[in-house]
Structure 1
Amino acid sequence: MEGSLAFKTMVIVMIAALCRAMPTTSPNQEELSNAQEYLSQFFSDVGVSAPNSVWRSSLPSFEDTLKKMQEFFGLEVTGQVDANTLEVMARPRCGFTDVSRYGHFEGQPKWGKTLVTYRIIDYTPDLNQSDVDTTIAKALKLYSDVIPLDFQQIDSGTADIMITFKSRDHGDFSPFDGPSGVLAHAFSPGEGNGGDTHFDEDENWTLTSAGTNLFLVAAHELGHALGLAHSQVRTALMFPTYYYVNTEGYKLPDDDRQGIQAIYGVRETSAQPTAKPYPHPKATNKPVTKPQPRPEPNPAPTPQRLPDRCSSNLIFDAATSLQRNLVFFKDGYFWKRVSSWHGITMKRITSVWPGINKVDAAYEFRKNNIAILFQGNYYWGIRGNSILPSYPKPLTNFGFPPSVTKVDAAVHVSFTGKTLLFVNNKYWSYNERMGAMDAGYPKFIHSDFPGIGDRVDAVFENKGYLYFSHGSSQTEYDYKRRRVIRNLLNSAWMDCN
């Protein structure tokens, strides 16, 4: 009997050893590409270098970033794209990054008031409007039950939190990706877009375990709108990936409660149902104070004159491509020319990227889905409508000498992989893969770019050509052949009659 047991034990050990020795299925190129895109979007503030790259890079390595992701989700930390890792990457989730030092946004932004208003601008056809109203109110009550903050729904004007259901590109530089994938995203508290919450209309929104449960996703996103970042606690509401739990009698989990109370404090008395769904109670004879629109930061005593995009004397501060659109900056505002239709939208810069008042130069490094915005002697990294952590940084971090206090223009040339940066009558070449300036620079503009002059106010790449602006004039330039194609006005991009 003992010999038989010993034999069986030996067989089990041999089988286990053979299983360990068997090669695992390697991920194909598409899976590697998808993994790199996932890590760049959710686990890096500057992007991720390609796996098995022969190029030396200043970017975090693919393996190191993958290990960070595996550790975050409680997976076996292998640094390899295995089946479990791919399964987690394929789960529906929130669109906000998972890189966060704490469970709060950097600087701990919060609402400096006790009553926060919200408005549902448009509704999903998947549910009755009254059900949506009730569900959003129920999600907000999770927070008002535990913190001294009340919520009120309004049906007109500008609320603190504006809520929409939209699909694909919806005007905030963070387009949705269709069914599953990213379900929703929200802005942290602040001026302009601060607190605004967007749901992907391509999802099947429900109030059950079928489809995507609106209450659970709304409660998560509104946590962002109040100042919470993602949590590594799997049972927390602010865990980044979506999974269904029973919503009957649902209360805010301990990790989320502790996080939100660390920002706003503890509600000393039991909360009243202050998040009242529309329709509102009938008005009485008592005077009612109407919700006021959010003030612009540092309001001027007199209205600021908006830049005229159709002026023949239009001078750009900066220009760049951004997620397949063209963006033109001028006097604290920017125009976006959407590639899929002939139309121009205009927004204040601070309403999308708080803290950036004016843009002197800008470029997009599309490979890592980031853009760099320069203002004075600092620069910011952005992804969509989010400013990346650890920014702004001084120009010296970019490799400029201390004598450079402002960048006039910048453009990433896709076929060379280099970024050109223009300062006065000279330019630098920055190697994105090496994360350093190329040797031998700066050089004179007029020597290397014959026909465009010796100063550049703005430059961008479009359909293989570079467009150099100086004053109100612009030069379409064939960079490969170093020759001018044609001259035009800046306003030619503005869809003016």
Structure 2
Amino acid sequence: MQLALLCAVCLLPGGLALPLPLEAGGMSEPQWKQAQDYLERFYPYDSKTRDVNSIEAKLKEMQKFFHLPITGMLNSRIIEIMQKPRCGMPDVAEYSLFPNSPKWTSKVVTYRILSYTRDLSPLRVNQLVAKAFEMWKKEIPLHFKRIHRGIADIMIGFARGAHGDSYPFDGPGNILAHAFAPGPGLGGDTHFDEDERWSDGSSIGINLLYAATHELGHSLGLGHSSDPNAVMYPTYEDKDSEDFKLSQDDIEGIQKLYGERGD
């Protein structure tokens, strides 16, 4: 009798799933797990309370960021946003290595491209990266200089999986790239996931110009914007290459750090 009771107790956890919390909003268990992982990565703490344990607080923070009704409960719209390809840096946090709005103090910022994608020629990658830098250069009194050897302020490359910075890539989809705010060491460095299919806009794939302009915004000191028209919006949208430009929100943000360009 005691043995049978013990077996029944041992089997109980495997036979009955624990009910999901109210914040799950009726979503499935896989969706709830995905939401928890997403919130832990992109909303490390609630910006007001620093309540690191409250999923409800993180959901509210995400809803606020994306201009959704603030309920603290999961729903299909949030799941839809969570499934979009995006930048790997958090939306609400001191994402950078150094807090307090870091920026480059030199008027000339160097960059070096360490590795390339197999999807585009090195020449095309060089052109697109240079064009991404030019998007920002037009608005601020900084100059960007490419170097071919040695340590640059901004080291750029393509990599798969774990690549030495504690932020491993996750394979095709989801996280496309990440970059670090200005500073020594990893500061300013920009990494792209080589498991993505990269494009220059002439074929199917992630547009490297869009992604590079976004990530270099981080390399210059910008965080994510909640303006869906901004280059610094965290999720990736395929846009018309002809109309691609910085939004007013992007321009105001970068000029707040570096001032306006004087011609």
Q: CA deviation at 1:44?
A: 2.0
Equivalent of 1:186 in 179, 188, 192: 179
Contact 1:185 1:221 in 2 (8 A): yes
After superposition, give the CA deviation of every residue in 1:203-249 in whole Å (9 maximum; x if it has no partner): 00001272111000000000000000011111111111111222225
Q: Aligned partners of 2:220 and 2:25: how far apart in 1?
A: 43
Contact 1:167 1:178 in 2 (8 A): yes
Letter in 1 for 2:211: V
- Alignment partner, residue 90 of structure 1: 83
Letter in 2 for 1:40: E
After TM superposition, the score normalised by the length of structure 2 is 0.84
Q: Aligned partners of 1:130 and 1:223: how far apart in 2?
A: 22
Deviates more, 1:152-161 or 1:127-136: 152-161
- Alignment partner, residue 3 of structure 1: none
Equivalent of 2:223 in 229, 244, 266: 229
Letter in 1 for 2:198: W
Q: Aligned partners of 2:58 and 2:158: how far apart in 1?
A: 32
Q: Aligned partners of 1:154 and 1:38: how far apart in 2?
A: 36
Contact 1:71 1:77 in 2 (8 A): yes
- Structure 2 unaligned regions, length at least 5: 1-23
Contact 2:25 2:73 in 1 (8 A): no
Equivalent of 2:145 in 124, 129, 152: 152
Contact 1:100 1:230 in 2 (8 A): no
Q: Aligned partners of 1:268 and 1:143: how far apart in 2?
A: 14
Counterparts in 2 of 1:25 and 1:32: CA distance versus 1, 3 Å: closer
- Alignment partner, residue 135 of structure 1: 128
Matches within 5 A, 1:261-300: 261-269=255-263
Q: CA deviation at 1:77?
A: 2.6
- Report runs of 4+ in structure 1 exceeding 3 Å deviation: none
- Alignment partner, residue 45 of structure 2: 45
Equivalent of 2:244 in 235, 250, 257: 250
Counterparts in 2 of 1:59 and 1:112: CA distance versus 1, 3 Å: closer
Counterparts in 2 of 1:229 and 1:25: CA distance versus 1, 3 Å: closer
Q: CA deviation at 1:80?
A: 2.0
Whichever structure has more strand as a proportion of its residues is 1
Could you say which structure has the larger radius of gyration? 1
Letter in 1 for 2:42: F
Q: Over the residues paired in the alignment, what is the CA RMSD in angstroms?
A: 2.0
Counterparts in 2 of 1:32 and 1:116: CA distance versus 1, 3 Å: same
Contact 2:109 2:143 in 1 (8 A): yes
SS state at 1:248 partner:
helix
- Structure 1 unaligned regions, length at least 5: 1-23, 47-57, 270-497
Whichever structure has more helix as a proportion of its residues is 2
Q: CA deviation at 1:25?
A: 8.2
After superposition, give the CA deviation of every residue in 1:116-168 in whole Å (9 maximum; x if it has no partner): 11111010000011110000000000111010001111111111110010010
